[in-house]
Every structure is written in structure tokens, then in C-alpha cells.
Amino acid sequence: MFSYQIDENLKLMLSQQHQAEVITKVVLENLEQLKLWMPWAKDDYSIDSARAFIKANLTEYAKNGSFSASIILEETFVGGVGFHNLDLKNKSAHIGYWLAKEAQGKGIMTRCCRVLFNYLFDDLGLNRIQINCNIENVKSRAIPERLGFKLEGIHRQVEWLNEEFRDWAIYAMLKQEWKK
């Protein structure tokens, strides 16, 4: 029911159980692409996976305010964006996101991230936002680069995905660097 209106046809929404079916459909349509980068995108993804994710996500939100929002473009679910590893003591969090194929190339994720960063820096008072991208995931790395994040390092073999170890590019932005 609850959402954040970004502009006329784009909004972020806190998904609920009665939206599990829609999420499942879009994930399955994009599964081939998602499997390349996302550890949760597995061949046996089903409506139960979506339900478990929604429940875990809302529970996290209740516990500490961190969430993964659904991206809604013209009333259609097209992806997710959110943060995890919220660390209020050190005032930092990690960002994650994905977008369905047909919604890519329109600057949607950049607009979503801007809203999310304002929330994290201003409402939650964070000081540092980190984004971890698979080094070969060019589209994903374009987001922090376009938004002015600094590349802080390459973590080698830090993730086991699809039967091989993968490297991550670590990007970060500090509050003082963020110009709205």
C-alpha cells in the first residue's frame, strides 16, 4: 500500500504478500540475466521465494529500518533497490539493486538511487554508502560511476557464484561528497 513517488510515472514501494505473484513473474522473465550476478536468483525461484523475501524484508524494516523497495514504473513492477548491512554505530550501509531488461537504459536506477541516498544521508543520518559490484558487471558499475562514487578497491574472489569465485569492485560515497 505504501510507496514513495519519485516522479509522475516512477515510484518505490514497500512490497506486501499480496504482491508476491507479480514479483515472481518479473524475476522469472529476467532469470537468465539475474543469475549472472545475483546469488538469490536460482533456477528453482518460485512464489515461495518471493513470499519469503517479502517477509524477511518487512521484518528487517520493522527491526532497524533497512529495506529493499520494489521499483514501480507506470504501475508495473520492474525491479528492486534497497540497502542492507545498516550500521548505525559507524553510520554506513550497503546498496543493492536490479532492473528488468525492458526498464533498463532510461535512467531509472539513477533516479531511484538519488531518492534513496537522500533518505540515508538525511533521514537516517548516515555518513557512508557502499556499493559492491561484480567487476564484470558493466551495467551495475555504471550506476556508482555516474553518481560520482569513488572506486576504493577490488576485493578478489570474494563471492562464490555459479561455481567460480568472483571479484568485487568496491565503491563508496561519503555524505560530504553528496550534492543533491
**Interface ranges with its own copies (CB under 8 A):** 1-5, 12-14, 16-18, 39, 55, 58-59, 61-63, 65, 69, 89-92, 119, 123-124, 127-128, 130, 150, 152-160, 165, 170, 172, 174
- Angle of CA points 21, 24, 113, to nearest 5°: 110
Nearer to its own copies, 14 or 78 (CB): 14
* CB-CB contact of 99 with 108 (8 Å): yes
Distance of closest approach, residue 57 Cβ to its own copies, in angstroms: 8
How far, in Å, are 19, 38, 43, 46, 130 from residue 25 at the CA level? 10, 17, 13, 9, 30
In the complex, the smallest distance separating the C-beta of residue 29 from its own copies, rounded to whole angstroms, is: 23
Smaller CB separation from its own copies, 3 or 29: 3
Residue with smaller CB distance to its own copies, 89 or 105: 89
Min. distance of Cβ 158 from its own copies in angstroms? Answer: 6
Please say whether the beta carbons of 64 and 88 come within 8 A.
Answer: yes
Distance of alpha carbon 14 from the chain centroid:
13
| Coil/strand/helix, residue 8 | coil
Cβ closest to its own copies, residue 4 vs residue 49: 4
